[in-house]
Amino acid sequence: MKILVTGGSGLVGKAIQKVKTEHDFIFLSSKDCDLTNFDKTKDLFDKIKPDYVIHLAACVGGLFKNMNKNLEIFEINLLINFNVIKCCHLYKIKKCISCLSTCIFPDNVTYPIKENMLHNGKPHESNYGYSYAKRLLEIHSRLYRETHNSKFICIIPCNIYGENDNFSLEEGHVIPALIHQCYLSKKFNKPFVVKGTGSPLRQFIYVEDLANIILLILEKYEGNDDLIVATPEKDEISIKNIAELIAHYFEYDNIKFDTNYSDGQYKKTVDNTKLRNFIDYKMTDIKTGLSKTINWFKLNYDICRK
């Protein structure tokens, strides 16, 4: 089968390239097609004629990019998602798996969060542009399921980290940004400054685990329900502990927390029961995943995204 992967040069796309099966994969980057343009997207589908689509393409960033660029992020993602899902319908795609994020769940919610709670309230104000665009992607996919019995499902991963991430200090997600910050702090013998109090709690999934699970869903999942893809609740960890682990791997203990910065959402604990009912998959523990990610970052510092 022919599988089109949008966002194929990003964090998750690169991981799928590494673990991919024997099928015919086409990995699409933003340089290959402007997915915000419907005609160009349609021409791409017409040329490739994929059987399946893994939709990863998105305008993404960490807390501070989301806070500063809510409108831009909303509009770009809205266009990308509409065009891809519409073309999946027009070209009779057998299954489309679209990637959401646990950060789009309501801010005020009971824990642990389940899949059916996605629209039960407003998202956190720090990333409402990204959140609403992704929520509309879920609605769009669900409407095609209800109207045309399409196999358009959404996965909702917790915080993803790993090799080939964006290690930007300003626009990266928390783990890659902290890795880069600690690297520079040690290099220039300055305090390793962590923005915020470090108290927020998060579940983190190593990117190769997510890639493997996506392929299992593509090949074996027959359900029509969306799936939370996350580590167990017991593995939830604070940003402070993540920073301390990163500092440990760099052998650098001069850490300071700058409480002038926002912490963002305090927690967003999700329930992965539905996923565990589908597969029995052992996740990479955070210490092993961080060690692999930091080693890769050191080896690829000159060429990685930052």
Task: For residue 24, name the pLDDT band (cuts at 50, 70, 90).
Answer: very high
With a pLDDT cut of 70, the percent of the chain lying above it is 97
Does residue 27 contact residue 9 with C-beta atoms inside 8 Å? yes
What pLDDT, on a 0 to 100 scale, did the predictor assign at position 64?
54
What is the C-alpha separation between 133 and 101, in angstroms, rounded? Answer: 11
What structural domains does the chain harbor? Answer: 2-159+204-231+268-283 (3.40.50.720)
Determine the Cα–Cα distance for residues 51 and 92; give it in Å rounded to an integer.
8
245 closest CA partner among 300, 279, 204, 306:
204
Q: How far is CA 41 from CA 36, 63, 87, 142, 203, in A?
A: 8, 29, 7, 21, 34
In degrees and rounded to multiples of 5, residue 154 shows phi and psi of -120, 140
Taking the C-alpha atoms of residue 274 and residue 271, their distance in angstroms, rounded to an integer, is 8
d(CA 231, CA 209): 10
Q: Which of 130, 132, 183, 206 is catalytic?
A: 130
Q: Are strands 95-99 and 152-157 parallel, antiparallel or unpaired?
A: parallel
Confidence (pLDDT) at 6:
98
pLDDT tens digits for 83-102? Answer: 999 999 999 999 999 999 99
pLDDT of residue 127: 81
Query: In the annotation, is 130 catalytic?
Result: yes
CA dihedral 112, 116, 120, 121 (to 10 degrees): 70
Given this model, what pLDDT does residue 264 score? 78
In Å, how far are 57, 83, 135, 191, 294 from 99, measured between CA atoms?
A: 8, 15, 11, 36, 25
How far is CA 245 from its chain centroid? 22
The pLDDT of residue 61 is 67
Task: Please report the pLDDT score of residue 262 as a whole number.
Answer: 81
Q: How far apart are CA 43 and CA 240, in angstroms?
A: 47
pLDDT in tens, 229-252: 999 999 999 999 999 999 999 999
C-alpha angle 292-99-158 in degrees, rounded to nearest 5: 50
Residue 178's nearest CA partner among 241, 270, 104, 262 is 241
- 58-80: average pLDDT: 80
Instruction: Determine contact, residues 191/254, Cβ cutoff 8 Å.
Output: yes
Q: 234 and 283 in contact (C-beta within 8 Å)? A: no
